Amino acid sequence: MDYARRAVELGLDEIGFSDHSPMPRDDFDDWRMRDSQLDEYVAKVRLAQREFPQLKIRLALEVDYLPGHEDWIRKLAARQPWDYFIGSVHYVSDSWDIDNPAKLSEWKKRDAFAVWQAYFERLTQAVESGLFDIIGHADLPKKFGFRPAQDCTPLYEKFLHAVAETGCAIELNTAGLRKDCQEIYPSRELLEIAFRKNVPITFGSDAHAPAEVGLNFAEAVALARSVGYTETLRFRQRQAEAAWL
């Protein structure tokens, strides 16, 4: 409710809720809703829709992609009339979520490029699964600043080729500005390749608190425009609609 109120205060005309989806096993990790909380989540979004009729409020989820979870994700999609699914990779293995500050020591044990390669390989698989409307925070491995010395362009190219083929969008996510990397996800370099391949974009602030709703959107729009973008996508009932930037 507070998030929707903040969106109205800011004069936004649309907001989407995309909480972290449950996993097939509730004890998978400790930073997402449990399966039994899904209905409660939907009810809260529906309540906000009724309380703020002047605001378009979309019902969505940020869904973790792990290989082998495809059927689970398909079943999740059938459980509610979702407006969109953001597909994200946080886990490069079943036990390491690379953006988890509690597991920062894992980064220090590994070669950064090997992690980026594993991440983008999995992200490309997520795209190819065809289960998602939007791909979340595409260059998440930069979060804590562990950047490989090697050129990552081939990883971006392969990933974005799959995105273009599948027809999903990538998000400009301003949360990166609030992390060690101090940069919007994705980087200008990745976004320039996306633009060349006609990959559509969406905007998100990845708000984990009401004050973060719409944060730094002007910077994200400026970045998109400077790369050449003139349109963004919005999703309703898993159908995309273009809007001018």
Interface with Fe ion (CB under 5 A): 88
Number of residue whose CB is nearest Fe ion: 88
* Residue placing its CB nearer to Fe ion in the complex, 89 or 223: 89
Q: Which residues pair with 134 in a beta bridge?
A: 86, 169
Stated length of the chain: 245
Q: Nearest distance from residue 18's CB to Fe ion, in Å?
A: 9
* Residue placing its CB nearer to Fe ion in the complex, 138 or 160: 138
Cβ atoms of residues 115 and 107 within 8 Å: yes
- Name the residue among 37, 47, 60, 62 with its Cα closest to residue 5: 47
- Name the residue among 169, 233, 208, 214 with its Cα closest to residue 55: 214
Q: What crossing angle do the helices spanning 153-166 and 112-128 adopt, rounded to 10°? A: 10
H-run or E-run covering 123: helix 112-128
* Residue placing its CB nearer to Fe ion in the complex, 47 or 172: 172
Q: Nearest distance from residue 143's CB to Fe ion, in Å?
A: 10
* Residue placing its CB nearer to Fe ion in the complex, 49 or 183: 183
Q: Nearest distance from residue 114's CB to Fe ion, in Å?
A: 21
Q: Nearest distance from residue 129's CB to Fe ion, in Å?
A: 17
